[in-house]
Chains A and B, each alone.
Chain A
């Protein structure tokens, strides 16, 4: 049977992708930021997951104002890197796991999560930057990817609790897939940042640190954070952190922290990263 073995969370700042693509990761501005991913790069190569359910948000790349799905699951065989205005990132195509993706979609719909199913979609930095952070620059990504895009741009985004419950539903779906697969779930985005208005540049290290702590110490409390608290404490784009709760909801109550990294800044953003072993 398929099983979720671990959860990974990370920021997905586009400038991180640009730094990797342009060979700048050892420059003084970036060195400390990237050093915090070296542990995970080694760990991922040992873990060798077959499939990653990668929770992210599209940044006006695949979805414009015409179609705004709250939860969209990619069920395609393959996804290309989106052109976000600078040309597509020079990364391998993302290979899907269509059978497991359709299985998760079916199970979640029966479980009362009304998923949008996507078959033709370019994937932007929200999805490809985390892959680059964990896997570097391989000729092919070492795992199959199931993209799960969440609307965190147009209000209201889903509540943290709804995200958590979707994570639980995904875990049930994976556990009922008959093939023997090592599956990870990644939650991406955040941490504190604001990209607009006179308050742009807001960073809240104490709040971010407490969020990281509570992923293992008191995850139930994270489910109850209302949108307004993310906005006030973590900046207008800090709301992306609800996506981490899909990852956390998919893990058991005894999930254990294996690694953590926090760095300010990457461009406008506080970079947070955590690795959780399922339990």
Chain B
């Protein structure tokens, strides 16, 4: 009933959404070790080891240099480009003592105060945010 018959067409539509990266199988595969690194931060012992020497801890994981750098920079959009998923990155937000609201706001290019104010005012309008191709 809602089943797409053409997997390529199904996936291609995801690239038409502005400012959004859908966590597809390709990204899940690319980001496997990055996301598993994030999972390791659920253990306090690992959080302490990471905080003590972020680079050394990251080097224990078979990630690409670009993935490691995105994490060191806390560049979450770049990390998501390289296969991270936000629910896994959340382990890093919390390790840093950041809330979802604070961390997510950094991905928008807005200041934390402006992002919070936008949410309280009703959030980001979907107008013009639905489709790049159709400009709606």
Interface set of A (CB-CB < 8 Å, partner B): 14-15, 29, 59-61, 64-66, 83-86, 153-156, 159-162, 192, 194-205, 207, 223-228, 231-233, 236-237, 264-265, 267-268, 270
Contacts and interface: CB of A to CB of B under 8 A. Distances in A.
Max chain A Cβ within 10 angstroms of own Cβ: one of B13, B24, B129: B129
B52 to A, nearest CB: 17
Contacts of B124: 194, 199-203
A156 B22 CA distance: 10
Interface of B: 1-4, 10, 13-14, 17-25, 28, 31-32, 35-36, 38-39, 41-42, 76-77, 80, 85-88, 90-91, 93-95, 99-101, 104-105, 107-109, 115, 118-120, 122-126, 129-131
Contact of B105 (A59, A156, A200): A200
B130 A233 contact: yes
A154 B2 contact: no
A15 B1 contact: no
B22 A231 contact: yes
B28 A196 contact: no
A85 B32 contact: no
Given A84-B42, A198-B109, 20 more contacts: A60-B90, A65-B35, A65-B39, A85-B94, A155-B14, A159-B1, A161-B2, A161-B3, A196-B21, A196-B80, A197-B108, A199-B19, A200-B19, A201-B118, A203-B124, A204-B126, A233-B130, A237-B86, A265-B123, A267-B100
Contact of B123 (A83, A224, A264): A264
Contact of B2 (A204, A205, A223, A232): A223
Contacts of A14: 100
Contact of A153 (B10, B87, B109): B87
A233 B88 contact: no
A145 B58 CA distance: 39
A189 B76 CA distance: 23
Chain A interface, DSSP helix/strand/loop, else mixed: loop
Contacts of A195: 86, 100, 104
Contacts of A237: 86
Contacts of B14: 155, 228, 231
A64 B88 CA distance: 8
B42 A199 contact: no
Contacts of A86: 94
B4 A85 contact: no
Given A153-B23, A202-B124, A265-B120, A197 B36 contact: no
Contacts of B122: 203, 205, 264-265
B20 A236 contact: yes
A207 B17 CA distance: 17
B87 A85 contact: no
A153 B123 contact: no
B115 A201 contact: yes
9 contacts: A84-B91, A161-B1, A196-B80, A196-B104, A200-B19, A202-B123, A231-B20, A236-B20, A236-B22
